[in-house]
Structure 1
Amino acid sequence: MNDYYKAINWNAIEDMIDKSTWEKLTEQFWLDTRIPLSNDLDDWRHLPENEKDLVGKVFGGLTLLDTVQSETGMDSLRADARTQHEEAVLNNIQFMESVHAKSYSSIFSTLNTKTEIDEIFDWVSENEVLQYKAQRVNGIYRDGTPLEKKVASVFLETFLFYSGFFTPLYYLGNNKLSNVAEIIKLIIRDESVHGTYIGYKFQLGFNELSDEEQENLKNWAYELLFELYENEERYTDDLYGEIGWDEEVKTFLRYNANKALMNLGFEPLFPDNASDVNPIVMNGLSTGTSNHDFFSQVGNGYLLGQVESMADEDYDF
């Protein structure tokens, strides 16, 4: 029997969310090499040593999570794609997760010595709390059901990244490391699409389950979230305890954990809302960039034009 290959036809769309998400992601395309990170060197020189150490560890942790997402996460989701167009969107997401991971290395190469970079990656490999969350999510990607994999992906995209995102957003609000923060804002802009899109695909499958199956899966998701949150508390204490930002970061984490649940169509777990989060950080969380024309700093060869900020209604499924 001959193999049969079906050519993808973008003129026959089964789910318009696939098309709108593809267009949003390609509209937002960016590369780290076009952002003048060296302009942050003066700010970097004036940071205390314990804050420099924090920044290195934060970005090391984010690199690990993006690596999991690009090497394992999207492959596991792609195996259960409902449409060819969904598979194409997941290919795009996988590539951008690799761009995100590489972006942190660009930050390291600008701010850190080779010895410091090696120490950061050694810390990533040896930190048990960080490794736990990567291994827990990766285990679900490997052995979970299609819907469990989507839950894990949304929790990673919309919740687990944010213990790391707090730091650059805080500096941005205090007029420090603005170009580093621009990369983070671009990553957050991508992740806001990734989390809502995969959450939407989860809801399609979830709505096809029986009432009993829905209840069991919902309970599993809440238990997983709380387990990951407890681990994230330990991670936060490890990173931020000495500096004294730990409680503010935990509030930010709970706020984003609720966002992850909402992406899945579930009710929030924690009482925290936007008004409880440090307003400096919330202001930075806006997915627009502070200067849409910052690409022009590297010449006219990379003009993307203005990219609109993600608005909640764009992905109100």
Structure 2
Amino acid sequence: MANTDTPSSTYYKAINWNNIEDQIDKATWEKLTEQFWLDTRIPLSNDLDDWRTLSPLEHTLVGHVFGGLTLLDTLQSQDGMNQVRKDVRTPQELAVFNQIQFMESVHAKSYSSIFSTLNTSEEIDEIFDWTSKNPYLQKKAKIVNEIYQNGTPLEKKVASVFLETFLFYSGFYTPLYYLGNNKLANVAEIIKLIIRDESVHGTYIGYKFQLGFNELSDDEQQRLRDWMYDLLYELASNEENYTETLYGEIGWVDEVKVFLHYNANKALMNLGQEPLYPETADDVNPIVMNGISTGTSNHDFFSQVGNGYLLGHVEAMNDSDYDIGRPKKDDKK
């Protein structure tokens, strides 16, 4: 007699990493797991001597910068990736998004490690109060999250790439500037690790966007492209106002805006679109570009946990970091 308890169709399928539909999924998983890190492995207290040489204005700037970054990484870890991962092509892609979501939580937590090292409890309260009340920071969170909650799958990917590759960089400018001036090296090391992650996140999600975008009709592509550039204009206008609130007193507004335009173009490149702004790497403050391109810090901050915790060095950032999924010029066809 037949077993009537035997299901007539498969209820749930196991993920099979030996049957890869898209090799970019496997390559990205391996890249992200190879560069896994935790903030607890970095001796932030070694930056206290540098911190004491900074002015009260600089202390406020650093605190507000990292407060803003904390809010954006919270948005990305709690809502952004949770929404983007709902539309996947392969089970391996979902696994990659799970890893990205976890690392966004690590990023958000890392800023609190910086606060607890550099700031008093009263200063930390002020920082989080500021993030809750700054109108431009709240506006960009609102714009992006409304797309996450109500947008199409492709629109959600655009919002994610704009956040990862563009909107974070008004905050990244400060620690990279200090690193280029040989200050706050351990704080900057965390930022370089975060940038290394965000580079992969932005290129991977941009690649997945391009797969869906290329399946649209010409009219559908143009409508989505128009929406994309309109969104970028709206975010860029707000981001310039946000930059003025952060950097107005210290006098860095114009150079930070150049850095923003440069990274907005990178975000568009991730999405397979034409750049919007004339700025290139040559226009960015060379001190900041030096901070990005500097390799590891002058100490092995992982040696304290033994040889069982070996991670790759923080690599220099360059244009090829944005080319995941796109053939190199010298690749064989």
Verify: 1:22 aligned to 2:13, yes or no: no
Is the contact made by 1:206 and 1:214 (CA closer than 8 Å) also made in structure 2?
Answer: yes
Verify: 1:193 aligned to 2:225, yes or no: no
| Correspondent of 1:206 among 203, 207, 213 | 213
Write the distance in 1 (CA, Å) between the matches of 2:153 and 2:105. Answer: 22
Which residue of the partner structure matches residue 304 of structure 1?
310
Verify: 1:175 aligned to 2:182, yes or no: yes
Which residue of the partner structure matches residue 166 of structure 1?
173
Deviation of 1:291 after TM superposition, in Å, equals 4.8
Which residue of the partner structure matches residue 231 of structure 2?
224
Which residue of the partner structure matches residue 315 of structure 1?
324
Name stretches of at least 5 consecutive residues in structure 1 with no aligned partner: none
Which residue of the partner structure matches residue 268 of structure 2?
261
Write the distance in 1 (CA, Å) between the matches of 2:285 and 2:314. Answer: 25
Q: Measured at CA, do residues 308 and 31 of structure 1 come closer, stay the same or move farther in structure 2, by a change above 3 Å?
A: closer
Deviation of 1:305 after TM superposition, in Å, equals 4.1
Is the contact made by 2:193 and 2:314 (CA closer than 8 Å) also made in structure 1?
Answer: no
Is the contact made by 2:140 and 2:238 (CA closer than 8 Å) also made in structure 1?
Answer: yes
Aligned-partner residue type, residue 70 of structure 1: S
Aligned-partner residue type, residue 54 of structure 1: L
Deviation of 1:303 after TM superposition, in Å, equals 2.9
Q: For residues 10-159 of structure 1, what are the structure 2 equivalents within 5 Å?
A: 10-159=17-166
Write the distance in 1 (CA, Å) between the matches of 2:284 and 2:133. Answer: 31
Name stretches of at least 5 consecutive residues in structure 2 with no aligned partner: 1-6, 327-333
Structure whose residues are more often helix by fraction:
1
Deviation of 1:304 after TM superposition, in Å, equals 1.5
Deviation of 1:294 after TM superposition, in Å, equals 2.7
Deviation of 1:66 after TM superposition, in Å, equals 0.2
Write the distance in 1 (CA, Å) between the matches of 2:313 and 2:14. Answer: 31
Cα RMSD over matched residues? 1.6
Is the contact made by 1:188 and 1:287 (CA closer than 8 Å) also made in structure 2?
Answer: no
Deviation of 1:289 after TM superposition, in Å, equals 2.9
User: Larger C-alpha radius of gyration, 1 or 2?
Assistant: 2
Moved over 4 A (4+): none
Deviation of 1:60 after TM superposition, in Å, equals 0.2
**Quick one: percent identity of the two aligned structures?**
75
Deviation of 1:287 after TM superposition, in Å, equals 7.9
Equivalent residues, number: 316
